Each structure stands twice: as structure tokens, then as C-alpha cells.
């Protein structure tokens, strides 16, 4: 009899444990939400505040709990799970943006303990817990160029918009301290209007200059504000990365094309072309010439200068050469130019041949032996004939 009671007691304990585990089981539901729509489950409300960026996959979500135990607004990245009030494994909620359809709608997955009940979707038109008369500020920070080169200028735009239902007061934008890879030129720190009415936005622009190459993580920027009851609220932008490339430099390719060998005392041409295959402008271009050995080949207009040569541009000119003495000569061109700070040196060379003078009487000397032999043969012929 006692054994029977023990078996029944064990069965009751196991059944109770299984029921408890079942109640703590985590499940999920997917919802397609438009701006202002929300999902309610137990005392929690998850609301889609704004699709901040379809391209970057950023959605603003607000999570609240009845009684004020939770009131948090976050920028969620697509496919990144976010825990609210401890997350679904600890009695709270886990929210994930699984898809973004456009700038007004997204698919939201809500994970929750099964014992919280069944979540219900509330549309913005149904008068559910929407933005109501509360201010909600969305903040965004962007670079006009997320892949600048060292020395390049970047414009940073900070935009704050009131997407809520009442005026936001005491607005303060808190940007992070200056980034070490940039020099701040003008407009920093950004200044935003202290009050924004519903639907109103304000922007600030400041200019920075890239001074060190590498990948830079640009941190989020925070905006703090208060509602009509002086309750302090805040929101943050999403962080992002910027890659600073090495400084762009000019690169002048030089090509020398002579017209050919030059007869002694005659003239020839040397065509010179400069092509900037780099990504920056070459400034103060100077071309100096040197001929080795000296004295046997004269050059006119071989030295040249240009104020600048833009990327992808070509400059050409032609110099006159005069052969003074036969031989082989090397024409060296030394090019110097600047990239704005540094001086860059290049060289190019070609070989010019000055031919020896032709003496036509030498050809007649070759005929004399032939004439002498011919005369001797004729003489011998006459002697044998008689």
C-alpha cells in the first residue's frame, strides 16, 4: 500500500514539472506592421515607430509595459534579435525585424513565453496604444562619403525629426568626441533646435577632413528631450563604419617617340607625351632634359612646364633635334611634379642615332678596278688577234 502511494506521488510531481516546463516554453509569432501599428501580449506592447532606413535595415521599435516598468525605444537592425525586459528566456520579450517591405512597413517577429498568452495586433487606426500625445524623436547621422581618401573632405549631417504626437522640448544632441582619424574643420558640435513640433525636423551639418587611413567605427549619436510633463526621453542613431583609403596621388606616365635616325647635319623630331594615370591632379609639372654624350646632338624646345595635369588628362609636345656629330645619343628627361604636399620625381629616356655623312666619290673608286681589268682584257685580245 505504501509503495502505491509513493508511485502516485511521483507521478503527480512529474506531471506538475512537465506542466511547468510547458508553461515556460518559448514560442513566437510573426506580424506585418505599418508605422504606428503595435503588438500587445499580456502587459507588453511592441510598436513600430518608424522605418528609419530600408537600405541599411534599420527600424525604430518602442517597447512598453503597463505600469511604466518598461518604456524603451531602440533602433533595431534587420535580423538582429533584441531582448526587452530580460528577453523571452527570462519572462520578457525578444523582438527581431525579419523583413522590411518599404519605408512604412516591416515584418516583426515577437518571441515570448507561452504562458503570457496570445499576442494581438493593433493597427494605428484602431485607437490602440499609439504615439498618442507623446513626442518621439528619431535621429540619424550620415556621411556624404563613406569611403573617403586621406586628405578628402566629408560632410556630416545630423537630422532629428519629431515623429510623435506632441512637441518635444529641451532637445540636446550628444555627438561623440571627435574621431582620431579626422580633423574637424567647421560646424562641430552640431546644434539642433531646442523644440520640435510633431512632424517637424531640423538638421545640422559639420565638415571634417580625413587624415589617417583605415576602418573607422562611427558611434551612434544620442538625442535627449522631454515631454510636456518634463519626463526625459532619449533615442540613438545606428552606428556604422567608414573606410578611409590611402591618399590619392597623381602618376605621370611619360612616353618619348623619336622620328627616327637623323642624318648628319639634318633635323629630326622627338614627340613627348605625359599621361596622368593617377587619381589626383599633378601640380607644377617641370620637364628638364639632358643629352649624353654632350655636343653632338642639339635639342630645341625640349624643356617644358605645365601648371597642372588633371587625372586622366594628357599633355603632348614636340622638340626639334639637329645632328652635329655622328654617333649614338641618349636623351634623358627628368620630370618633377607635386601632389599638393610632396614632390614626385620621374624619368624617361630614348636613344637617337646620328648617321655618318655619305661621300659619293667612294662609289666611283669601286668602279676603277673594273675599268682597269676591262682595258687589260681588250689589249690582250688585240695582241692575240694580230
Question: Do residue 221 and residue 296 come from a single domain?
Answer: no
CATH number at residue 142: 2.60.40.10
Does residue 167 sit within a domain? yes
DSSP β-ladder status, 201-210 and 182-186: antiparallel
State residue 162 phi and psi, 5-degree precision: -90, 105
CA distance between the termini of the chain: 171
Nearest to 33 by CA among 94, 110, 88: 110
**Distances from the Cα of 15 to the Cαs of 12, 23, 116, 165, 311, in angstroms?**
5, 12, 21, 51, 79
Residue 22 has pLDDT above 50, yes or no: no
Question: Domain check: are 37 and 107 in the same one?
Answer: yes
Does residue 377 form part of some domain? no
Question: Residue 227 pLDDT more than 90?
Answer: no
Q: Which of 320, 317, 331, 305 is nearest to 273 (CA)?
A: 317
215 shares a domain with 147 = yes
Higher pLDDT: 16 or 116? It is: 116
The mean pLDDT value of the chain amounts to 84
Q: Write the CA distances from 45 to 49, 116, 121, 211, integer angstroms.
A: 12, 12, 10, 46
CB 162 within 8 A of CB 171: no
Residue range 63-77: mean pLDDT, rounded: 88
Which is more confident, 261 or 103?
261
Full-model pTM? 0.47
Residues 47 and 91 reside in one and the same domain: yes
**Residues with Cβ < 8 Å from 332, sequence gap 6 or more?**
289, 290, 291, 292, 347, 348, 349
In a domain, 155, yes or no: yes
Q: For the chain, what is the domain count?
A: 3
Instruction: Of 282, 245, 219, 283, give the one whose Cα is nearest residue 151.
Output: 245
Please check the confidence at residue 351 and state whether its pLDDT lies above 70.
yes
Q: Would the pLDDT of 9 be above 80?
A: no
Q: Which residue has the cell 695582241?
A: 383
One domain for residues 279 and 344: yes
Pair 283, 329: CB distance under 8 Å:
no
**256/20: higher pLDDT:** 256
Q: What is the mean pLDDT of residues 56-69?
A: 88
pLDDT, tens digit, 9 for 90 and up, residues 162-174:
988 889 999 999 8
Q: Is residue 382 part of a domain?
A: no
Range of the structural domain that residue 115 is part of? 24-126
From the list 269, 361, 360, 357, the residue with the least C-alpha distance to 316 is 269
- The pLDDT tens digits for 272-284 are 999 999 888 899 9
Asked if residue 178 and residue 158 are part of one domain, the reply reads yes
Amino acid at each position: 500500500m505504501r509503495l502505491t502511494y509513493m508511485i502516485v506521488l511521483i507521478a503527480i510531481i512529474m506531471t506538475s514539472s512537465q506542466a511547468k516546463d510547458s508553461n515556460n516554453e518559448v514560442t513566437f509569432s510573426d506580424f506585418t506592421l505599418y508605422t504606428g501599428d503595435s503588438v500587445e501580449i499580456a502587459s507588453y506592447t511592441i510598436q513600430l515607430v518608424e522605418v528609419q532606413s530600408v537600405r541599411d535595415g534599420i527600424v525604430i521599435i518602442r517597447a512598453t509595459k503597463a505600469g511604466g516598468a518598461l518604456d524603451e525605444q531602440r533602433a533595431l537592425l534587420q535580423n538582429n534579435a533584441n531582448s526587452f525586459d530580460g528577453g523571452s528566456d527570462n519572462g520578457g520579450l525578444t523582438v527581431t525585424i525579419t523583413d522590411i517591405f518599404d519605408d512604412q512597413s516591416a515584418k516583426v517577429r515577437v518571441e515570448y513565453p507561452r504562458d503570457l498568452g496570445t499576442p494581438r495586433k493593433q493597427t494605428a487606426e484602431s485607437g490602440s496604444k499609439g504615439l498618442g500625445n507623446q513626442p518621439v524623436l528619431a535621429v540619424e547621422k550620415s556621411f556624404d562619403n563613406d569611403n573617403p581618401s586621406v586628405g578628402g573632405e566629408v560632410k556630416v549631417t545630423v537630422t532629428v525629426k519629431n515623429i510623435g504626437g506632441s512637441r518635444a522640448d529641451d532637445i540636446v544632441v550628444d555627438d561623440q568626441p571627435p574621431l582620431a582619424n579626422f580633423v574637424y574643420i567647421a560646424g562641430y558640435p552640431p546644434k539642433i533646435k531646442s523644440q520640435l513640433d510633431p512632424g517637424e525636423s531640423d538638421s545640422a551639418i559639420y565638415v571634417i577632413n580625413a587624415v589617417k587611413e583605415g576602418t573607422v567605427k562611427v558611434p551612434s549619436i544620442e538625442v535627449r528631450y522631454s515631454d510636456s510633463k518634463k519626463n526625459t526621453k532619449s533615442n540613438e542613431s545606428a552606428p556604422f563604419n567608414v573606410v578611409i583609403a590611402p591618399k590619392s596621388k597623381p602618376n605621370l606616365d611619360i612616353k618619348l617617340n623619336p622620328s627616327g635616325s637623323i642624318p648628319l647635319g639634318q633635323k629630326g623630331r622627338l614627340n613627348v607625351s605625359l599621361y596622368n594615370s593617377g587619381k589626383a591632379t599633378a601640380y607644377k609639372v617641370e620637364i628638364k632634359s639632358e643629352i649624353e654624350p654632350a655636343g653632338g646632338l642639339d635639342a630645341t624646345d625640349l624643356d617644358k612646364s605645365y601648371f597642372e595635369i588633371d587625372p586622366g588628362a594628357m599633355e603632348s609636345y614636340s622638340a626639334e633635334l639637329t645632328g652635329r656629330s655622328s654617333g649614338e645619343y641618349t636623351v634623358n628627361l627628368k620630370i618633377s611634379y607635386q601632389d599638393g604636399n610632396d614632390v614626385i620625381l620621374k624619368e624617361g629616356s630614348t636613344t637617337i642615332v646620328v648617321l655618318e655623312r655619305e661621300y659619293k666619290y667612294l662609289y666611283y673608286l669601286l668602279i676603277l678596278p673594273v675599268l682597269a681589268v676591262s682595258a687589260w682584257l681588250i689589249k690582250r685580245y688585240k695582241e692575240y688577234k694580230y
